[in-house]
Structure 1
Amino acid sequence: MTSQSVSPPALASGVAKSSLRKIITASSVGTLIEWYDFYIYGSLAVVFSGMFFPEGNGTTALLVTIAAFGTGFVVRPIGAVVFGRMGDRVGRKKTFLTTLLIMGGATTMLGLMPTYDHIGILAPILLVTLRLLQGLAIGGEYGGAVVYIAENSPSKKRGALTSVLQTTATGGLLLSIGVIVLCRVSLGEEAFDSWGWRIPFLLSAVLVLFSLKIRMKMHESPVFEEMRRTGNLSRSPIKDAVAHKPSFALLLVVVFGVTAGLGVAWYTSQFYTLYFLQTILKIDFLTANVSVGIALVIATPFFVLFGKLSDKHGRTRIILCGLVFSAAGYLPLFAWIRHAAVHGDQFQMVLALTIQVVFVTMIYGPTAAFLSELFPPQIRYTGLSLAYHIGTGVFGGFTPLVALSLNTATGNVLAGLIYPVAITAVTAVVFVLTLRRGVDSPIVRRAWKQIDSECSS
């Protein structure tokens, strides 16, 4: 079985460049807005951590708020199951229209929510509930957008085209930071901390309506339409993805050999770094957010660069280099950040932050194309979404909480790095042992053969 035979097929007639641009724009803008919604909570956790819980220990309130942030990651795999099945049975387009509406509604409600002083214990309950809805929605969004673009892309440009979507997670975080900084500067610190922090949440309603208008004009994926026309859809995508040994084995190796390390690397370089700067190094809010924002702006084009390079030189070697460089770079880079902060050298701090994010782009840039090529089309939405959100949601999403807890428990400001070093290193080893041949790996071949047999019988 060659890589061509197991990858999402290019359309026989080709796709016009103008149509392809519209497809990428519609998918990417919607996904960027969903990531903005998802991450605005994390970006503002330090600001509102005491508003939805009883007064008391500020550190405890922050850790509980970050834990609530983590609950959104725990349910992402559940969202992957629910919306993955919908995407593989009903269609890619209808599914990520649904996820967009759920995400936008939950985020807008976060901006309207009363504090603990007004509604008591209902405040933290509502906070967690809305966070769970966000997690469910993002669990179905990313996989759908990846699959939709991949199934409309010619094979020789799939890495480059899907890598545009990979910029949306960083773009969403960058947008959230930009909106927060703008509101903070415009309103002043006192007004922002009192009520102005709600504005970034409420802005979601406007952004979602804009994205919804674009997505309503999209057509269904040609690969899905062909499977529906020929009667080759999976009758039970969840069962086919997890109940059969070959496909379940593929799911496991993708989680432990790609997405766990990807998720931890991503959240270490962006969210944990933000908490590290503010809570450990005591850098002021604006300096920390602006520094991370600058690093993201500089590094974001590398997502597309490494996506393009993966079309020419293969996905596996670039992803592996990113995992290895990330694991090896945490301790020296965070030590560098700490040294720069102590000496008030923001330039050095931004440089270290940028290098760290570039390592992540090596993993993340080619990953969308890589994952879409690994999973059979009949279970692609379900399998890809599950693997991605178990890895990035569970392993990655709790990175800030685990790392900050290790710092608190040991008193060592760099102790939190034990977790990301271990996870990315283990992921690199599993990757080499199971997926180094990419779509031609035996484990991928067996999964495709099993799914083809199930859906044709």
Structure 2
Amino acid sequence: MVTDIEGGLPKHHGATQNEKLVIAASSLGTVFEWYDFYLYGLLATYISAQFFSGVNETTGFIFALAAFAAGFAVRPFGAIVFGRIGDMVGRKNTFLVTMGIMGLSTFAVGLLPSYASIGMAAPIILLVMRLAQGLALGGEYGGAATYVAEHAPENKRGLYTSWIQTTATFGLFAALLVVIGFRFALGEDAFAAWGWRLPFLISILLLGVSMWIRLQLNESPVFQKMKDEGTTSKAPLTEAFGQWGNLRWVIIALLGAVMGQAVVWYTGQFYALFFLEKTMRMDGATANILIAIALALATPFFICFGWLSDKIGRKPIILGGCALAAISYFPLFAALTTAANPALAAAQASAPVTIVAHGGECSFQFDPVGKNRFDQTSCDVAKAYMAKSGVSYANVEAAAGSPAVVKVGSVSFTAPDAATLAGPDKTAAIAAFQDALKAGLAQAGYPEKADNARIDKVAVVAILWALAMLVTMVYGPIAAMLVELFPSRIRYTSMSLPYHIGNGWFGGFLPTTAFAMVAATGNIYYGLWYPVLIAAATVVVGLLFLPETFRRNIDE
């Protein structure tokens, strides 16, 4: 009978008390790290107002999302640094260090003065804190997943590691509950002014609990065996990425599994939330509550799909989730519009908005320095107002030199030729156009914000649950698959890099990229092409090159 390397246990055995402690301690500690990391995303609107108030509202929000994404951008570098340490020094001590960095940098955000207090130093320091968080998280996930998998029975790695996969959602869920609690306790005005800092500040308590929990654990038995035998890697980076035999699997893991998993994850849990708040104009508290309910209903399925992957394999579940996402995102988000803001959906159907203008005279509606007023051409005047209003529109090409016309259903509004005007005349003409267009949109039924009484909350939760279910399909089995792809001596390093390139870059930049795509085209659904195309590409690459791994021995 084949036995485990620890305690003479058979490779297929029931969970021992020690293994249950490993799962619980690793998972709980990781929940706290994800809580810290995702607070920023949940509070992006407030952070935009506090730290990017020197630019216009739309640009400030995109900047806030970009700073959010910066934490993801450095995750692969954290994976390289801490993955190397984890393969050389050990799994346990490495993720103790990453936890300390994460907790302290999160706490510091709660103390950071705003832009109004210290000017440009505020967003710069904020960015530094986000980069520190990203580096720490880059080293955390690979360590936790490897640590749990190396303790698991051979036939239950999907089930055991799926608990680690729940931690990101539990961390987000915990952050949602804390944010919702403070918003209701303090009121929206107080929360916007200073209460948004409290969720960051209480993270210092979670850091203490997390560190104590992790200190109770022993080193991974697989790593301890390698250490005792003197077979640990002396140059894990060279072995992992300098040899084509291993590097090719890093690339296949990224393109054939992780990049699709990443965009599905961030679309289902973050882009959906931003879409409700910024595009559907739903108030933040309601959006947070509805997505928290959907996450609570979907979270058990991480375990279900992890368990199922032990029975039928990792590959069909992960690629199946990516395929379903690519097919369903456009109809799901269209249905979300109808449920979340029925007045907006009705107006879009009965009185669609079109801008007729010459494309060469239209600027991209993004202002990185806060200086462009988008009032130099007729097209800019029209699109600047539409971008601010958040109303979806289509573009129709017109002859060069002709004024831009905004059509709301059958009613047309001609934007002033800003190039021929100056001073008070220009200001008055633009104001008159904006007032007329605002009245026209209102008459056509376009609401300034979602009417809370008309929101079909059951339908919204159902759609958000469907999006979250796709997340559980792609994310539940991914840790086990990544662990199984690589040899134990370079496992921490090898699995961490594709995971964090996929989730840090392809996933982390999704909200920023998608909203920029919407701003560029005017179509509120256009940003969905980003996750749809990447998920579809993952299905193709995965079917062609990704191996099935669920029966592999990972002790070597």
Query: Structure 1: which amino acid aligns with 2:101?
Result: I
Q: CA deviation at 1:320?
A: 1.6
CA distance in 2, matches of 1:281, 1:298: 23
CA distance in 1, matches of 2:548, 2:289: 40
Q: Deviations over 1:350-404 (max 9, x none)?
A: 1011011101111111111111111110110001111100011100000000111
CA distance in 2, matches of 1:437, 1:175: 34
Correspondence 1:206-285 to 2 at 5 A? 206-285=205-284
Percent of residue pairs identical? 48
Aligned to 1:371: 482
Higher mean C-alpha displacement, 33-42 vs 230-239:
230-239
Aligned to 1:23: 22
CA contact (8 A) 1:10 1:151 kept: no
**Is 1:348 aligned to 2:459, yes or no?**
yes
CA distance in 1, matches of 2:169, 2:243: 35
> Which residue, 470, 479, 482 being the options, matches 1:359?
470
CA distance in 2, matches of 1:364, 1:100: 22
CA contact (8 A) 1:102 1:137 kept: yes
Q: Deviations over 1:129-158 (max 9, x none)?
A: 000000000000010000000000001111
Q: Deviations over 1:258-283 (max 9, x none)?
A: 11111111001111111111111101
CA distance in 1, matches of 2:550, 2:182: 46
Query: Structure 1: which amino acid aligns with 2:97?
Result: T
Q: Deviations over 1:291-333 (max 9, x none)?
A: 1111100000000000111111111111121111111111111
CA distance in 2, matches of 1:192, 1:106: 21
CA distance in 2, matches of 1:393, 1:422: 18
Aligned to 1:402: 513
Aligned to 1:455: none
Q: CA deviation at 1:47?
A: 1.7
CA contact (8 A) 2:263 2:535 kept: yes
Query: Structure 2: which amino acid aligns with 1:363?
Result: V
Correspondence 1:173-188 to 2 at 5 A? 173-188=172-187
Query: Structure 2: which amino acid aligns with 1:391?
Result: G
Aligned to 1:145: 144
Higher mean C-alpha displacement, 8-17 vs 136-145:
8-17
Q: CA deviation at 1:439?
A: 6.5
CA distance in 1, matches of 2:144, 2:479: 10
CA contact (8 A) 1:48 1:193 kept: no
Correspondence 1:288-367 to 2 at 5 A? 288-343=287-342, 344-367=455-478
TM-score normalised by L of structure 2 = 0.77
* Structure 2 unmatched runs, 5+: 343-454
CA distance in 1, matches of 2:71, 2:125: 13
CA distance in 1, matches of 2:141, 2:250: 17
CA-atom RMSD in angstroms: 1.9
CA contact (8 A) 1:329 1:356 kept: no
Aligned to 1:431: 542
* Structure 1 unmatched runs, 5+: 453-457
Q: The residue matched to 2:311 in structure 1 has which SS?
A: helix
CA contact (8 A) 1:181 1:289 kept: yes
Q: Deviations over 1:89-131 (max 9, x none)?
A: 0000000000000000000000000011111111011000000
Aligned to 2:72: 73
CA distance in 2, matches of 1:438, 1:25: 25
CA distance in 1, matches of 2:46, 2:8: 53
CA distance in 2, matches of 1:439, 1:375: 13
Aligned to 1:129: 128
CA distance in 1, matches of 2:47, 2:315: 41
CA distance in 2, matches of 1:128, 1:37: 15
Query: Structure 2: which amino acid aligns with 1:351?
Result: A
Q: The residue matched to 1:51 in structure 2 has which SS?
A: helix
Q: CA deviation at 1:436?
A: 4.2
Query: Structure 2: which amino acid aligns with 1:212?
Result: M
TM-score normalised by L of structure 1 = 0.93
Q: CA deviation at 1:408?
A: 1.0
Q: CA deviation at 1:10?
A: 6.0
CA contact (8 A) 1:150 1:369 kept: yes
CA distance in 2, matches of 1:372, 1:357: 24
Q: The residue matched to 2:477 in structure 1 has which SS?
A: helix
1:314–1:439 distance in 2 versus 1, CA, 3 Å = closer
Bigger-Rg structure (1/2): 2
CA distance in 2, matches of 1:267, 1:10: 38
- Detail structure 1 runs of 4+ shifted over 3 Å in the superposition: 8-12, 436-440
CA distance in 2, matches of 1:353, 1:407: 21
Tell me the matched-pair count: 440
CA distance in 2, matches of 1:9, 1:420: 41
Aligned to 1:287: 286
Q: Deviations over 1:55-107 (max 9, x none)?
A: 33011111001101111111000000010001000000000000000000000
Q: CA deviation at 1:17?
A: 1.7
CA distance in 1, matches of 2:77, 2:313: 31
**Is 1:390 aligned to 2:385, yes or no?**
no
CA contact (8 A) 2:340 2:457 kept: yes
CA distance in 2, matches of 1:84, 1:324: 31
CA contact (8 A) 2:329 2:532 kept: yes
CA contact (8 A) 1:10 1:153 kept: no
Q: Deviations over 1:238-261 (max 9, x none)?
A: 111111111111100101111111
Query: Structure 2: which amino acid aligns with 1:421?
Result: V
CA distance in 2, matches of 1:432, 1:393: 23
CA contact (8 A) 2:169 2:299 kept: yes
CA distance in 2, matches of 1:52, 1:340: 33
**Is 1:381 aligned to 2:492, yes or no?**
yes
**Is 1:13 aligned to 2:21, yes or no?**
no
Aligned to 1:420: 531
CA distance in 2, matches of 1:9, 1:267: 37
Aligned to 1:55: 54
**Is 1:115 aligned to 2:114, yes or no?**
yes
Aligned to 1:101: 100
